Structure 1
Amino acid sequence: MKKTRAFLKWAGGKYSLVEEITKRLPNADTLVEPFMGAGSVFLNSNFKHYVLNDINADLINLYEELKTSPDEFILDARKLFVALNNDADAYYAYRKQFNESQDIYERAILFLYMNRHGYNGLCRYNLKGIFNVPFGKYKKPYFPEAELYFFAEKSQKATFTCQSYTDVFAKLPKNSVVYCDPPYVPLSKTASFTSYAKGGFNFDDQAQLANLAERSAFDKGTPVLISNHDTIITRKIYEKATLDTIQVKRTISPKGGSRNKVDEIMALYKGEE
């Protein structure tokens, strides 16, 4: 099966892992993703329906706009992908416009532009909620037209929500399976990567997520698969799940040479058959 790429660049994106993830997901009518990110699992799986959530309002807002009016959205977004705009001054002017804008459609278009023109495809905000990723200096940013159309078409099967993971677990549909891709436990004390959206995701959240997964699978019969770094901490937190380890190439570092292999853990919570 040909794999489909997400139209956004995304730190921690699951494109390289989709086969490993989808083969571990039990059959169900609906796939629920509390931490959707760029949507690689959604794009490369086959469920009748999807409930796709992310705490990042700009991300969900972009998906909603694309789902509702794909032709108009893609036409307008393409206009920003010209040589004139692949320039630091232009980028910072658009970034300022984005941060000052209350218009949902305008923010969605600019979010896509910044994702492709900003540094390393990062998505980062300061404590006041101001998007602050610097200019990326790419030769010619790619306009992901085919990927946008594919996403828009497939999203007709999806319901998008922007709420906390606890709220998602409180309303799981019947005959569903949950895939969780939370912000990963840091591999070192200095590697904390929590500025992805306002609020962060701390150790208590990691434990709380595991508790919700246990209750969902063992009390309600809805299976849950969680991916994370394979560490002493995650093995302890996920001790009630079936654990698998897989090796992954890390690509967050811009220096190709420092992309070493890291073990990831797949924790499957499955109730009684």
Structure 2
Amino acid sequence: MSRKNRAFLKWAGGKFKLVDALNRHLPAGQRLVEPFVGAGSVFLNTEYDEYLLCDINQDLIDLYNIVKRQPETYIQAAKALFVDRMNNKEAYYDARKHFNSSCDPFLRAIYFLYLNRHGFNGLCRYNQKGEFNVPFGSYKKPYFPEKEIRIFAEKAQRAEFRCISYEQAFELVTDGDVIYCDPPYAPLSTTASFTTYVGAGFSLDDQALLARYSRHTALERGIPVLISNHDIPLTRELYHGARLESIQVQRNISQKGSARTKVDELMALYDDTYHEEQE
């Protein structure tokens, strides 16, 4: 693709900087299935006929379905929150309170974008009660991504959005599909930890189970699976039998630019043809 499209959400671990490398590794197919869609940068920068885009965050999936079905109504409603009087700590925490107390998907979708763009580092985090708890970000003038929402809405006509687990997403794949997995990344060290933005976290057991699902799907069903993760000894062991390639990518792990360093990222491709060549 000649021009890369940015997601309209800020997202920790977003794949915008990786899309060129991912396009080199993703096999051809009719439909791309993403069990961990996140902000959708891979969806926005690939060309498949169809997409099945999944995530366990109900707010995220509701937002995408609303943008898909009624983009103009959504844009006008969300844009009203991106004004100077809403860009302060008191207004932010009031909006966060309304978001957490509301059960209306459209209202939550409006607040979700506001919180995403005004909250600290674009984080998406909930407490054990399921309440969004990211603090105010203190940005001078948060950007309203109207152009990006329109681009997303147009391409979303080719996509189905489902709030399901990665295990359920794997059960829905069929011939002609290609799977791309962008799970919460394994910790870089034994002292590092990661709690996913929904639920109880993505454990090392989940990492191993995802690798097993991927191997079996490629070997037994002939459906290729590409996974990205940190390039560390643990992931190289987990993804044994896959075609492995390491690339460098800048990770935005701090607000300070000096702390945004490049780390090795692993691309693991499970492909039945590749496995047969090794046997």
Q: TM-score range by the shorter chain?
A: over 0.9
Secondary structure, in 3 states, of the residue corresponding to 1:60? helix
After superposition, what is the alpha-carbon deviation per residue over 1:167-206, rounded to whole angstroms, capped at 9, x for unaligned?
1101103200000000000112333121311121000000
1:187 matched to which residue of 2? Answer: 188
CA distance in 2, matches of 1:189, 1:257: 24
Matched, 1:242 2:266: no
1:10 matched to which residue of 2? Answer: 11
The answer to whether the 8 Å contact 1:91/1:135 transfers is yes
Q: CA deviation at 1:128?
A: 1.1
After superposition, what is the alpha-carbon deviation per residue over 1:32-57, rounded to whole angstroms, capped at 9, x for unaligned?
00000000000000000000001111
| Counterpart AA for 1:239 | H
The answer to whether the 8 Å contact 1:124/1:196 transfers is yes
CA distance in 2, matches of 1:5, 1:234: 28
TM-score, normalising length: structure 2: 0.96
Q: CA deviation at 1:140?
A: 0.3
CA distance in 2, matches of 1:212, 1:188: 25
1:225 matched to which residue of 2? Answer: 226
| Counterpart AA for 1:233 | L
After TM superposition, the structure 1 = structure 2 runs for residues 204-219 of structure 1, keeping only pairs within 5 Å, are: 204-219=205-220
The answer to whether the 8 Å contact 2:253/2:259 transfers is no
CA distance in 1, matches of 2:156, 2:175: 20
2:37 matched to which residue of 1? Answer: 36
The answer to whether the 8 Å contact 1:125/1:195 transfers is no
After TM superposition, the structure 1 = structure 2 runs for residues 147-226 of structure 1, keeping only pairs within 5 Å, are: 147-226=148-227
In the alignment of these two chains, the number of paired residues is 273
After superposition, what is the alpha-carbon deviation per residue over 1:92-140, rounded to whole angstroms, capped at 9, x for unaligned?
0000000000001000000000000000000001111110000000000
Secondary structure, in 3 states, of the residue corresponding to 2:273? coil
Aligned sequence identity (%): 57
1:46 matched to which residue of 2? Answer: 47
CA distance in 2, matches of 1:105, 1:131: 16
In structure 2, stretches of 5+ residues that fail to align are 275-279
Q: CA deviation at 1:250?
A: 1.2
| Counterpart AA for 1:168 | A
The answer to whether the 8 Å contact 1:126/1:195 transfers is no
Secondary structure, in 3 states, of the residue corresponding to 2:25? coil
CA RMSD of aligned residues (A): 0.9
| Counterpart AA for 1:37 | G
TM-score, normalising length: structure 1: 0.98
Q: After TM superposition, where is structure 1 displaced by more than 4 Å over at least 4 residues in a row?
A: none
Q: CA deviation at 1:272?
A: 2.6
After superposition, what is the alpha-carbon deviation per residue over 1:230-249, rounded to whole angstroms, capped at 9, x for unaligned?
01100000011000000111
Q: CA deviation at 1:81?
A: 0.4
2:277 matched to which residue of 1? Answer: none
CA distance in 2, matches of 1:189, 1:113: 35
Secondary structure, in 3 states, of the residue corresponding to 1:32? strand
CA distance in 1, matches of 2:254, 2:55: 24
After TM superposition, the structure 1 = structure 2 runs for residues 30-179 of structure 1, keeping only pairs within 5 Å, are: 30-179=31-180
CA distance in 2, matches of 1:88, 1:124: 18
CA distance in 1, matches of 2:86, 2:45: 32
| Counterpart AA for 1:65 | I
Q: CA deviation at 1:144?
A: 0.2
Q: CA deviation at 1:271?
A: 1.0
| Counterpart AA for 2:91 | A
In structure 1, stretches of 5+ residues that fail to align are none
CA distance in 2, matches of 1:167, 1:195: 18
